[in-house]
């Protein structure tokens, strides 16, 4: 079923053209557990006639089977897709739904309310322009309400709609609605939230969701759908500062060299003076090329190919900006990081960092503070961040990159943290600005080396008739474990005294030294093999024991 089924039946091309030209609004629902987020999305889909007949039949059957809403439709089942969600009656993962009205297209993210799923909510909020914050009229502003508001403000969501749900359970009391409104506004002022609107609703019955309710004659504002259709989000786009991260350099023949990418912000025209960062070489825009022909002007979110008047060195990961409108270019900055994995974030450990198409590595030098997302209290200088925790960190990268503060430009101010061994995304960051002060002149400590290399230094002595082959096999096994080890052999070092000195020097710098025929007096572990066929078993036993006992 569709709100435009007649147009679809008469002229599908006209419908598609009209649909293509509608403005898109990305939004998310958030709030405490069982506040009715999924039910609200189901109500929006139902009342805008965006549910197909077979889905409606399935919904009626599932509602009767689950039995959570009496004889009424359980609209939350339209969104809670995981079996675990349906059985527990909660949302676990971020669920995305797409619908449209005559005026707008919508992508709506249903995010989980539980604290242990903070990372999931941050994922859903990262692209949202508006947040619908659900508050149960019976319970008012709760701890989870504050947590979700903080995350929404941290991720730069400019428009907040507070939907006071389950008003039918408090007899649509104006006094209760105003009490919750005043309580929330006092908290929102601390976060700097400016565009905050309030709507009293009943998601289950549809009051003030799509149509104005007769049960709230005292409410003079717009129903929720009217707000979603009319909220002004075009001004939120950064059309002032041109940023073009280069994703690909195309050269189909000797006469054409173009730089492909999506404009992160701003506007560009042929003839504009631009600078490539970090090289700082300048040129002029020659053409703005697209599949449908050249453009006289391109702006934010358009995918284009730019050609330049001069042959300057520009590669994937570089950024084109307008001259005299430059972002920061540095290898040190402060950023708020949301940690997304069980293994904690540790200062000094090496991680991969991806900002747009730019890929580099770096470390978290300092955690300035960790913010309690429930109380907004800050714990100063923690040593690590645990799963779902948020902290303001100072990062040091291995190379300078171009960036903006996240609040100024979401696209060039956000990055992800990647585990170097598994390539799994383990954190999301929002840049605050340049790091304060200068580099520390303190010597590198043993603890700092251990955290950076993710290992403990050790000397492994290899003996027996096949010591050289054994040492190389141990090096390979440790390398496959993600460890950094160096073989100290008679061939590359010299006599036993020299091997001892080199091995001790390597361990002093955090490395694992694998030394041939060294003796056991200074070794942390020994292994030997008198026959070639003994090497695999000897190596396997050694590595398992070292890992189990946490000696490396």
- Confidence at 429, pLDDT banded by 50, 70, 90: very high
Residue 85, pLDDT > 60, answer: no
Q: Is 165 annotated as a binding residue?
A: yes
Q: Is 314 annotated as a binding residue?
A: no
Q: Is 182 annotated as a binding residue?
A: no
Residues of the chain with pLDDT > 90: what percent?
A: 41
C-alpha closest to that of 328 among 414, 242, 400: 400
Answer yes or no: are the C-beta atoms of 48 and 2 closer than 8 Å: no
- Confidence at 194, pLDDT banded by 50, 70, 90: confident
Given this model, what pLDDT does residue 519 score? 72
Q: Is 206 annotated as a binding residue?
A: no
- Which segment, 35-39, 64-68, 100-104, 168-172, is predicted with the most confidence on average? 168-172
CA distances from 28 to 2, 41, 228, 468 (A): 22, 10, 11, 61
Q: How many residues does the chain have?
A: 552
Residue 57, pLDDT > 80, answer: no
Given this model, what pLDDT does residue 64 score? 58
Between strands 512-516 and 485-488, the pairing is parallel
Q: Is 113 annotated as a binding residue?
A: yes
- Residue 450: exposure state from Cβ atoms within 10 A (0-12, 13-18, ≥19): middle
Given this model, what pLDDT does residue 51 score? 66
Answer yes or no: are the C-beta atoms of 187 and 147 closer than 8 Å: no
Residue 21, pLDDT > 90, answer: no
Tokens 């189901």 belong to residue:
42
Given this model, what pLDDT does residue 206 score? 87
Q: Is 292 annotated as a binding residue?
A: no
Given this model, what pLDDT does residue 437 score? 64
Give me the mean pLDDT over the 480-493 stretch: 88
Q: Is 105 annotated as a binding residue?
A: no
- Confidence at 35, pLDDT banded by 50, 70, 90: confident
Answer yes or no: are the C-beta atoms of 175 and 181 closer than 8 Å: no
Residue 4, pLDDT > 60, answer: no
Q: Is 436 annotated as a binding residue?
A: no
Q: Is 396 annotated as a binding residue?
A: no
Q: Is 114 annotated as a binding residue?
A: yes
Q: Write out 372-384 in H/E/C secondary structure.
A: CCCCCCEEECCCE
Residue 88, pLDDT > 50, answer: no
Residue 59, pLDDT > 80, answer: no
C-alpha closest to that of 374 among 178, 204, 150, 219: 150
- Confidence at 116, pLDDT banded by 50, 70, 90: low
Q: Write out 6-56 in H/E/C secondary structure.
A: HHHHHCHHHHHHHHHCCEEEEEEEEECCCCCHHHHHHHHHHHCCCCCHHHH
Answer yes or no: are the C-beta atoms of 35 and 113 closer than 8 Å: yes
Q: Is 111 annotated as a binding residue?
A: yes
Q: Is 32 annotated as a binding residue?
A: yes
Q: Is 167 annotated as a binding residue?
A: yes
Q: How far apart are CA 392 and CA 270, in angstroms?
A: 40
> Whole-model pTM above 0.85?
no
Residue 392, pLDDT > 90, answer: yes
Between strands 303-308 and 256-262, the pairing is antiparallel
Q: Is 456 annotated as a binding residue?
A: no
Q: What is the mean pLDDT of the chain?
A: 84
Given this model, what pLDDT does residue 161 score? 95
Q: Tell which wins on pLDDT, 92 or 457.
A: 457
Given this model, what pLDDT does residue 490 score? 84
Tokens read off for 518? 């060294």
Quick one: angle between helices 535-548 and 467-480, nearest 10? 40
Give me the mean pLDDT over the 208-227 stretch: 92
pLDDT digits (tens, 9 = 90+) for 433-463: 888 765 555 677 787 788 778 888 999 999 8
Q: What are phi and psi of 524, to 5 degrees?
A: -85, -20
Residue 254, pLDDT > 90, answer: no
Given this model, what pLDDT does residue 79 score? 61
Tokens read off for 370? 């960790």
pLDDT digits (tens, 9 = 90+) for 489-520: 888 887 888 888 899 999 989 999 999 888 77
Q: Is 38 annotated as a binding residue?
A: yes
Q: Is 110 annotated as a binding residue?
A: yes
Give me the mean pLDDT over the 204-214 stretch: 89
Residue 320, pLDDT > 60, answer: yes
């Amino acid at each position: 079923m569709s709100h435009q089924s007649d147009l679809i039946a008469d002229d599908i091309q006209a419908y598609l053209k009209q649909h293509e030209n509608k403005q898109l609004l990305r939004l998310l629902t958030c709030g405490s557990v069982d506040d009715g987020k999924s039910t609200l999305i189901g109500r929006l889909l139902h009342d805008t006639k965006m549910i197909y007949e077979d889905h409606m039949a399935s919904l009626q059957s599932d509602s009767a089977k689950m039995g959570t809403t009496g004889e009424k439709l359980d609209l939350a089942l339209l969104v809670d897709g995981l079996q675990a969600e349906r059985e527990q009656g909660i949302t676990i993962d971020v669920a995305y739904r797409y619908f449209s009205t005559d005026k707008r297209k919508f992508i709506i993210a249903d995010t989980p309310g539980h604290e242990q799923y903070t990372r999931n909510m941050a994922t859903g909020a990262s692209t949202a322009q508006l947040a619908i914050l659900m508050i149960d009229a019976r319970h008012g502003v709760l701890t989870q309400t504050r947590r979700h508001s903080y995350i929404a403000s941290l991720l730069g969501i400019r428009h907040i709609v507070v939907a006071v749900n389950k008003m039918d359970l408090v007899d649509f009391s104006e006094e209760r609605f105003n009490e919750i409104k005043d309580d929330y506004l006092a908290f929102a002022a601390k976060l700097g939230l400016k565009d905050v609107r309030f709507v009293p609703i009943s998601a289950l019955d549809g009051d003030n969701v799509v149509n104005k309710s007769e049960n709230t004659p005292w409410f003079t504002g717009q129903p929720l759908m009217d707000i979603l259709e009319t909220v002004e989000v075009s001004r939120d786009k950064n059309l002032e500062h041109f940023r073009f991260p280069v994703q690909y350099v195309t050269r189909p023949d000797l006469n054409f060299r173009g730089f492909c990418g999506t404009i992160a912000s701003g506007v560009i025209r042929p003839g504009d003076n631009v600078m490539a960062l970090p090289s700082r070489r300048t040129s002029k825009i020659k053409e703005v090329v697209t599949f449908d022909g050249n453009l006289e002007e391109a702006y934010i979110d358009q995918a284009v190919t730019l050609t330049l008047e001069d042959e300057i060195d520009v590669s994937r990961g570089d950024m084109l900006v307008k001259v005299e409108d430059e972002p920061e270019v540095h290898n040190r900055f402060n950023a708020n990081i949301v940690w997304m994995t069980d293994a904690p974030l540790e200062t000094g450990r090496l991680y991969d960092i991806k900002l747009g198409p730019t890929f580099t590595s770096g470390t978290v030098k300092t955690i300035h503070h960790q913010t309690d997302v429930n109380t907004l209290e800050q714990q100063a200088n923690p040593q690590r961040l645990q799963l779902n925790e948020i902290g303001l960190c100072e990062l040091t990268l291995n190379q300078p990159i171009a960036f903006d503060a996240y609040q100024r430009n979401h696209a060039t101010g956000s990055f992800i943290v990647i585990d170097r061994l598994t390539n799994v995304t383990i954190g999301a960051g929002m840049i605050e600005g340049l790091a304060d002060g200068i580099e520390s002149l303190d010597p590198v400590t043993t603890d700092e080396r251990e955290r950076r290399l993710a290992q403990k230094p050790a000397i492994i002595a290899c003996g027996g008739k096949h010591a050289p082959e054994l040492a190389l096999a141990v090096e390979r096994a440790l390398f496959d474990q993600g460890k950094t080890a160096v073989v100290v052999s008679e061939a590359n070092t010299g006599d036993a005294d020299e091997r001892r000195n080199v091995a001790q020097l390597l361990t002093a710098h955090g490395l694992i030294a694998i030394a041939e025929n060294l003796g056991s007096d200074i070794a942390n572990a020994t292994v030997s093999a008198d026959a070639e066929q003994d090497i695999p078993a000897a190596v396997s036993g050694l590595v398992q024991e070292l890992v189990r006992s946490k000696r490396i």
